[in-house]
């Protein structure tokens, strides 16, 4: 294996420890976000208690999928950003829109150097009553919407959200909608783990709820006898 560094010294080629989908939506009081606590190592479900959603400053919540070490590094950058913001001591604090922009610049500039931070990030928050929910990908694509998801969540969760999301969901409705999405991901995403965290951010602040497990349903008669009428099939 050729190990000596060449002109293009740094270049992330592939992720090692990865987190699966994150899903988030706007509701009446702010943003609700959900992610499982799994860290996969290739096809092995190696780590089962990794927190992939963290509060940022007073007004934002960051959720990440992709390489966990890069997410941990991003948290360090944001720590520094918030620290410097607090040191101004001017009564102002960075809101979700600003933090989202900062992240977009980091991700896009790393992409330009062919050394991306291998993450898909979801940044949600509320400041002065204004709700904000945005996403940034590892190549710097960014946008905001009423509901967002990363990874397989884009294919499995967003269709559900497009159908059932509406303005002014209550906390209970929002949580149940997220749980519906996470359950589908549990059924259909190989790298999903049944240990889920939901977090919320409102004007009052951020709360990351403790991990819990979802019940799953297997009692369809077709599941019990899948090959009835077609022996040899599956």
Partner 1 sequence: MDQKMDFNAPHSMGTTIIGVTYNGGVVLGADSRTSTGVYVANRASDKITKLTDNVYVCRSGSAADSQVVSDYVTYFLHQHTIQLGQPATVKVAANLVRLLSYNNKNFLETGLIVGGWDKYEGGQIYGVPLGGTIVQQPFAIGGSGSSYLYGFFDQAWKEGMTKEEAEDLVKKAVSLAIARDGASGGVVRTVIINSEGVTRNFYPGDQLPLWHEELEPHNSLLDILGAPEPMNI
| Catalytic residue annotation | 12
CB 65, min distance to partner 1, A: 14
CB 68, min distance to partner 1, A: 4
Q: Give the CA distances from residue 170 to residues 58, 146, 173, 175, 176, in Å, rounded to whole numbers and listed in that order.
A: 22, 14, 5, 9, 10
Residue number, 176 or 213, with CB nearest to partner 1 = 213
CB 100, min distance to partner 1, A: 24
CB 5, min distance to partner 1, A: 7
Q: What are phi and psi for residue 74, nearest 5 degrees?
A: -60, -40
Residue number, 38 or 134, with CB nearest to partner 1 = 38
Among 81, 132, 69, smallest CA distance to 106 is for: 81
Which residues of this chain interact with partner 1, rule CB under 8 A? Answer: 1, 3, 5, 9-13, 15-17, 39, 41, 44, 46-47, 49-50, 67-69, 72-73
Structure tokens at 4: 């000596």
Structure tokens at 52: 């992939």
Residue number, 44 or 233, with CB nearest to partner 1 = 44
31 - beta bridge partners? 26, 201
CB 54, min distance to partner 1, A: 14
Residue number, 71 or 132, with CB nearest to partner 1 = 71
Residue number, 41 or 143, with CB nearest to partner 1 = 41
- How many Cβ atoms from other residues are within 10 Å of residue 35's Cβ? 28
Q: What are phi and psi for residue 19, nearest 5 degrees?
A: -100, 150
């Amino acid at each position: 294996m050729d190990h000596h560094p060449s002109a293009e010294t740094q270049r992330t080629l592939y992720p090692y420890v990865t987190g699966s989908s994150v899903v988030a939506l706007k509701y009446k009081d702010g943003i609700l976000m959900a992610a499982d606590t799994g860290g996969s190592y290739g096809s092995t479900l190696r780590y089962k208690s990794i927190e992939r959603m963290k509060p940022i400053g007073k007004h934002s919540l960051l959720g990440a999928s992709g390489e966990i070490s890069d997410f941990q590094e991003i948290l360090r950058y944001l720590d520094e950003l918030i620290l410097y913001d607090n040191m101004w001591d001017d009564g102002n604090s960075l809101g979700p829109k600003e933090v989202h922009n900062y992240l977009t610049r980091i991700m896009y500039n790393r992409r330009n150097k062919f050394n991306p931070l291998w993450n898909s990030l979801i940044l949600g928050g509320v400041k002065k009553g204004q709700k904000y929910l945005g996403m940034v990908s590892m190549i710097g694509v960014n946008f905001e919407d009423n509901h967002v998801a990363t990874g397989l969540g884009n294919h499995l969760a967003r269709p559900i959200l497009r159908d059932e999301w509406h303005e002014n969901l209550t906390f209970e409705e929002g949580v149940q909608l997220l749980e519906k999405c996470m359950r589908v991901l549990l059924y259909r995403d190989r790298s999903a783990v049944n240990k889920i965290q939901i977090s919320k951010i409102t004007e009052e602040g951020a709360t990351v709820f403790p991990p819990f497990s979802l019940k799953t349903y297997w009692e369809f008669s077709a599941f019990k006898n899948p090959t009835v009428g077609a022996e040899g099939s599956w």
